[in-house]
Structure formats: C-alpha cells, structure tokens
Amino acid sequence: MASNLIDGRAIAAQIQLELTVRVAALKARGVVPGLAFVRVGEDPASKVYVGMKEKACAALGLGSATHILPAQTSEAELLALIGQLNAAAHIHGILVQAPLPKPIREAVVFSAVLPAKDVDGFHPVNVGKLMLGDETGFRPCTPAGVLELLVRSGVKTDGAEVVVLGRGNIVGKPMAAMLCQKGRTANSTVTICHSATRDIKAHCRRADIIVAAIGVAEFVTADMVKPGAVVMDVGVNRVPDATSNTGTKLVGDVDFKNVQLIAGKITPNPGGVGPMTIAMLLQNTVRAAEAATR
C-alpha cells in the first residue's frame, strides 16, 4: 500500500483484535454480546450493509439476530418490534438500518431505541452527550471511525484547521462535534461546508484536514486541496461505468487518483472509512454489553 494511504482495513482489524480480549472476558462471565439488526424492505444497499455487519459479528463471536420486515410494515409495527428488543436481556445493541420506507419517520424510530442499546448513536440522548463531550454516550459509527483513523495514523488534530464537507446528522454534524471537543485527540478548529457555502474551494484549500461527506461523486478535486493536507473520503456514490458488468461502479466524494498525488495522507475508497464503520459498531456493542452487566 502506498506510503500516504490510511489503511482502514488494517486499522479495523487491529480494533477487532483488541475487542476479542473484551469479548472473551464477557463470555467468561457467561455473557455473549448481542446485536439485533432490523431491516425494513428490500433495499439492495441495505441488504449488503446488514450482511457485512452480520459477518463481522460472527467473526468476533458476537450473537446477532436479523429481523426482516416487509416494506409495507407500519411505523407502529416497527415500534412494537423495537419495544420487544429493548426488553430482551440478551440483546445489548439495536441497529435499525436506514433508509426506512415512507411514511415511517426515521427520527421517531431512532428515538424509540433505548439509549443504552443505541449502538448507532442516533438517539437524542446520545446526540446530546456527544455535543456536551460526555463520553458515556455512544458516538455514531462512521464519524467515530474517521476520528479513530486520524488518531491511529498519527495525524495531529490539536489546533488543526478542519473542513467537514456535509452537514448531515449521520456524519457531518457529529464529525464536527467530535473534532472541536477539548481533548488530546480533537481540539480542532472546524468549518462545516454545505450546499449554501460560498467558495467551498477557498475553505478547503486552507484546511489541514478535509472530511468529505457531501454525497457528490469525486467532488473534491486536486485544486481544492492544500499540498500535504489529510483527506478522509466518506462518500459512497454509484456512477456509470461502461467497463463494469453491472454498468456502474462505486466512487467516493474525492477524485482519489489526482488528490492522492498532493495529499499528505488519504483514505482509499473502498478500504478506508467503510471498514471502520463496522469496527466501531462492534466496539459500541461490546461497550453496551459491558455496561449492561456491571
């Protein structure tokens, strides 16, 4: 792997190896960390994502149960299932896979999961704890994975100028909140850019670290990046590709081929942030099991 690549697969494997010790300690006390997946409908991407998470649970020795509901499921029926999982002692974490079919309201569903089992970090209680710098809450997995990549790759965040591209509730906002907290692994000056930002290129060019989570294929180009800057690509975008059997391919939010030439460090896509999202989900689940059995 090129010297300036941040290897998400290797770092995720390191975290999972660390977790094996904690899982073994729990099992020695008769506790198997349990994670419940809830998928509504047959969204192809959701099926793939849940399948990957199931495999990761099995590899680490976690218990998992997947509940697949038809797309016609009502919000009340989904909430009833979540209530059952909240009450199940063997389930320590609950993940409701987004997107959910309309007219189900995601905010209502995420708020129904007990904060202590909210391993996705979407419940208002955990969101509030994140904003307050309270580390007892669960952090959303993707931005937590980005921060872990930065820390374990030796990237200095203290005093760094960071630009976060995207203001979504899943990545952009929590990413900014994590990086601006007081602490050795944060303490950054953060700018959030979005669709109404004037001259995004100018903001990006002064950044020491760019976190691209804007949802636009190859949005970050080489002329937007300061030489030596660290670039974290969170995007997952499907674009046409005549050479592919499916006629499409997945690309990130960064023009990787050209940006890599000037970046100090950069995440590949795939193989960068994606594996870390799953690693942080596993970590949150183990934490939830430890907290539930103290």
Enzyme catalytic residues:
53, 97, 120
For residue 178, give the amino acid letter.
M
**Beta-bridge partners for 179:** none
Q: Let me know if 139 is exposed, middle or buried by CB neighbors in 10 A (0-12, 13-18, 19+).
A: buried
**φ/ψ of residue 233, rounded to 5:** -100, 110
* Strand partners of residue 209: 162, 230
Residue 117 to residue 35: CA distance in whole angstroms: 9
Query: Quick one: DSSP state of residue 136?
Result: T
Report how far residue 56's alpha carbon sits from residue 74's, in angstroms, rounded to the nearest whole number. 30
| Pairing of β 63-69 and β 34-40 | parallel
